[in-house]
Amino acid sequence: MQTQESYDNCWTISSADPNARFLSKSEPVPVNSDVIIEHCGTSHYLASDSVEYKNDFGTEYEVCVHSFATLNKSQQLTLEKAGKLTRDLPTKFQLPQNIWAFVTSNDPATDYKVIEQGKMTHDDLVKIIKAKLNERGAYGIRGLSLVFKNMDENGNKKLDPDDFRWGLMNYGITISKEVL
């Protein structure tokens, strides 16, 4: 832990288009548009490759901080030809590994019912668990069983309500203590 402030966990979000980055500084982030996420401490961008890593919880992708940019100077030359200054502006386009978007759903069927905390019934909990199992397919039951086996430290195949709640939380289902 540090007592001093640092930029280790600070990020800025900018337009993926280098020509619009300067103008969009301090503006709200538009939904469903391409953006880059820059680490304040290193000035490198958040990146992810398209390699899928399969595990008990489904498919995951590795994330890192690295700037993947075009190697040519065509963007800079184009701006210079138009008479625009390029020294202070980032002029390289980022490769797809650095492009992100904050996406909202267009399909109302993908939305799920939001249950007010403290008003969830046991039937609601069972529906949520079934939906999560169906979402994960063949890995659903196997992944959930591994989570609960790991939570059963004494091996008696019984979980107290708090262990059950934490097991569900590790699986991606958050419930309040009042429900149990």
Distance (Å, rounded) from C-alpha 174 to C-alpha 128? 10
- Residue 119, pLDDT > 80, answer no
Q: Percent of the chain having pLDDT more than 90?
A: 3
Across residues 42-48, what is the average pLDDT? 89
Residue 47 pLDDT level (bands cut at 50, 70, 90): very high
- Residue 116, pLDDT > 70, answer no
The answer to whether the CB of 18 falls within 8 A of the CB of 93 is yes
Distance (Å, rounded) from C-alpha 82 to C-alpha 28? 29
Instruction: Tell me whether residue 53 is in a domain.
Output: yes
Say if residue 15 is in the same domain as residue 91. yes
Count structural domains, the chain: 2
Across residues 104-121, what is the average pLDDT? 64
Whole-number pLDDT of residue 152: 73
- DSSP H/E element including 133: helix 122-136
Domain edge (last residue) among 34, 65, 98: 98
Q: Percent of the chain having pLDDT more than 70?
A: 73
pTM: 0.49
Across residues 151-167, what is the average pLDDT? 74
Instruction: Tell me whether residue 103 is in a domain.
Output: no
Whole-number pLDDT of residue 14: 87
Instruction: Tell me whether residue 166 is in a domain.
Output: yes
- Residue 28, pLDDT > 80, answer yes
Instruction: Tell me whether residue 105 is in a domain.
Output: no
Say if residue 157 is in the same domain as residue 119. yes
Residues 66-111: tens digit of each pLDDT? 888 776 666 666 666 776 655 555 556 788 888 998 888 777 666 6
- Residue 127, pLDDT > 60, answer yes
Instruction: Tell me whether residue 4 is in a domain.
Output: no
Distance (Å, rounded) from C-alpha 153 to C-alpha 162? 13
Domain edge (last residue) among 98, 122, 154: 98
Domain that holds residue 48: 11-98
Say if residue 88 is in the same domain as residue 116. no
Instruction: Tell me whether residue 73 is in a domain.
Output: yes
Collapsing DSSP to helix, strand or coil, 52 comes out as: strand
Pair of tokens at residue 79: 């701006």
- Residue 39, pLDDT > 80, answer yes
Instruction: Tell me whether residue 145 is in a domain.
Output: yes
The answer to whether the CB of 97 falls within 8 A of the CB of 49 is yes
Say if residue 83 is in the same domain as residue 117. no
Instruction: Tell me whether residue 3 is in a domain.
Output: no
Residue 138 pLDDT level (bands cut at 50, 70, 90): low
